[in-house]
Amino acid sequence: MKYGYSMKPVKDENMYNFDVNLYTKGDIGVNISTKIGDFYLGVLYGNLGSGEIGIHPYYYMNDKSVEVEAYYKSDESKYVSLWQEFNFNDFTLDVNITKNITVYKTVPVVFNKVYRRIVEEP
């Protein structure tokens, strides 16, 4: 898992606004073996999922408002499920069931919201 942030000032209208990005990234890998006696062996291995989630606020100093973007991005993941069946009487009969599973990268999910400061006139 990785996490981080970036912040940079942006000079606009003789005032410095701030662009901030907070995020976390992660990968979930798996390697699981299951053995039942001498006749079943199951293996599941690969990358079950990975992606990034974050929040990206932009602060406007001239009117003290903020524009917020929250997002989620997923990456492609691939894993293999393999089952082998062995004859416990030492025959050479093997039955293999292999499934290659791919979860494709999705379009990023993004939410935007603007919070404006309300100034009341005297």
The answer as to whether 121 is a domain residue is no
**CA-based R_g, the chain, Å:** 26
The answer as to whether 12 is a domain residue is yes
Residue 52: which domain range?
2-115
Give CA–CA dist 79/28, Å, rounded: 11
Predicted pLDDT of residue 93: 53
Task: Read off the tokens for 28.
Answer: 């979930």
The answer as to whether 51 is a domain residue is yes
Q: How many domains in the chain? A: 1
Give the pLDDT band of residue 116 (cuts 50, 70, 90): confident
Q: Please, what sign has the CA dihedral across residues 55, 102, 35, 33?
A: negative
Which range among 5-14, 39-48, 71-80, 83-92 has the greatest average pLDDT? Answer: 71-80
Residue type, 42: G
The answer as to whether 122 is a domain residue is no
Asked whether the predicted pLDDT for residue 111 surpasses 70, the reply is: yes
% residues pLDDT > 70 (the chain): 85
Asked whether the predicted pLDDT for residue 92 surpasses 60, the reply is: no
Q: List the one residue out of 76, 61, 69 whose CA is nearest residue 110.
A: 69
Q: In a 10 Å sphere around its CB, with 0-12 CB exposed, 13-18 middle and 19+ buried, how is residue 58 labelled? A: middle
Give CA–CA dist 22/70, Å, rounded: 10
What is the per-residue pLDDT across 26-42, written as a single tens digit (0 to 9) for each? 888 889 888 887 677 78
Asked whether the predicted pLDDT for residue 94 surpasses 70, the reply is: no
Q: What is the mean pLDDT of the chain?
A: 81
Asked whether the predicted pLDDT for residue 43 surpasses 80, the reply is: yes
CA 93 to each of CA 60, 80, 87, 89: distance values in angstroms, whole numbers, following the listed order? 70, 22, 6, 10
The answer as to whether 120 is a domain residue is no
